[in-house]
């Protein structure tokens, strides 16, 4: 376990080191292009097979910078290949680490009571999903910003115009990173479910996540919330939160219907979209939870309070159905 974790860290650090080497190559390429341009070379013609250095006033200097440029482009191509190799190793290492921790949980089942075990698994799944989402969005974006800042520091001495363009791009990416992190905070922050009804909390969340109105959201309720327990209310909110995020991220649809049905003893939540559907083989026991943390978290949340979870693809649309008791049995 420790060895796997260290390997993951080493693979990640290696990709950062390769990024810095790529930055050096990019800076040198900009310098070479600037020198060629000053010698009268039209940079757009460099890849033209008919390009001949003898057509220019100082062919020996043109050939000199062309040779340096070719060498650095070849090095960059190899560095990108090496970076892909280490990113693949990182993915394999993280996948192996997750599977190893999952097997350890199976061993723990011998000594941990059922409901406690489910709570522990749910907590670890949510942590894994959060770290994965953070790595795939904000961390990748911030890593790219480091790469751009290093490039700007090298460009400032000889290409102020390009430096300003790159700096403008950095500012834009920083704003996106801040927006992503605010989104993570909003997802983690539970609404005051004691002050607002379940449907009000869901409406507030959907309005926040769907600020650009890419998806038309229709929320309907049948019956009255009544004496819905805080535990059921909180879990229904979190399940709906995850299901709606999936609609925005994966459905390719432009409409989401959220229906909350309050029965005498249970509450049924339905979230469906008009998107492209999904591969139902993802729901098989051996695949669910390997990378589909969100689906498994919804399932675990429903089952931990004695409810049921179902997701299906109907007529190229996705439909999530969750049923939970209004007042679940005591959760250990």
Place of tokens 């409409």: 255
Return the pLDDT at 84.
Answer: 80
Please give the pLDDT value at position 106. 44
SS3 178: helix
Burial class for 328, CB neighbours closer than 10 Å (0-12, 13-18, 19+):
middle
pLDDT of 321 reads: 93
Burial 8-27 (b: 16+ CB within 10 A, else e): beebbebbeebbeebbbbbb
Strands, DSSP E only, in 197-284? 216-222, 255-262, 266-273
**H/E run at residue 204:** helix 198-209
Query: What does DSSP say about strands 216-222 and 255-262: parallel, antiparallel, or unpaired?
Result: parallel
Class of domain 193-325: alpha beta
pLDDT score at 189: 63
Closest CA to 293 of 130, 115, 71: 130
Structure confidence at residue 194 (pLDDT)? 63
- Cβ atoms of 294 and 129 closer than 8 Å: yes
Tokens describing residue 233 = 């209310």
Dihedral sign from CA coordinates of 155, 160, 162, 163: positive
Q: What is the chain's Cα-based Rg? A: 27
- Nearest by Cα to 123 from 324, 293, 290: 293
DSSP state of 205: H
Q: Which tokens belong to 319?
A: 């439909």
CA–CA dist 154, 147 (Å, integer): 11
Averages of pLDDT over each 10 residues, the chain, 332 residues: 47 73 84 87 80 81 89 89 76 54 43 51 58 63 78 80 85 80 66 75 86 86 88 88 87 90 92 82 56 76 86 83 82 44
**Phi, psi (degrees; rounded to nearest 5) at 329:** -65, 160
What pLDDT sits at residue 5?
Answer: 43
């Amino acid at each position: 376990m420790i060895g796997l974790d260290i390997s993951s860290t080493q693979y990640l650090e290696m990709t950062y080191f390769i990024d810095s080497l790529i930055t050096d190559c990019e800076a040198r390429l900009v310098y070479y292009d600037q020198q060629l341009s000053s010698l009268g070379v039209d940079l757009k013609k460099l890849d033209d097979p008919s390009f001949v250095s003898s057509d220019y006033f100082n062919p020996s200097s043109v050939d000199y910078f062309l040779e340096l440029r070719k060498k650095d482009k070849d090095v960059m191509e190899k560095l990108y290949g090496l970076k892909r190799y280490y990113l693949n190793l990182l993915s394999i290492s993280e996948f192996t680490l997750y599977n190893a921790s999952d097997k350890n949980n199976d061993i723990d089942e011998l000594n941990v009571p059922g409901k406690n075990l489910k709570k522990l698994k749910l907590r670890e799944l949510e942590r894994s999903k959060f770290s994965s989402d953070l790595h795939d969005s904000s961390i990748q974006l911030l890593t790219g910003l480091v790469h751009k800042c290093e490039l700007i520091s090298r460009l400032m001495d000889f290409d102020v115009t390009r430096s300003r363009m790159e700096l403008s791009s950095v500012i834009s990416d920083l704003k996106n990173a801040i927006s992503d992190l605010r989104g993570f905070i909003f997802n983690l922050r539970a609404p005051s479910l004691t002050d607002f009804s379940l449907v009000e909390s869901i409406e507030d969340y959907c309005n926040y996540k769907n600020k650009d109105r890419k998806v038309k959201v229709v929320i309907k309720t049948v019956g009255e919330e009544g004496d819905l327990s805080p535990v059921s209310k909180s879990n229904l909110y979190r399940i709906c939160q995850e299901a709606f995020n999936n609609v925005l991220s994966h459905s390719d649809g432009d409409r989401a219907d959220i229906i909350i049905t309050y029965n005498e003893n249970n509450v049924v939540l339905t979230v469906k979209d008009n998107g492209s559907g999904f591969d139902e083989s993802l729901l098989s026991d051996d695949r669910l939870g390997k990378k589909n943390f969100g689906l498994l978290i919804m399932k675990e949340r429903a089952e931990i309070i004695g409810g049921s979870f179902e997701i299906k693809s109907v007529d190229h649309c996705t439909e999530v159905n969750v049923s939970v008791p209004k007042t679940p049995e005591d959760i250990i």
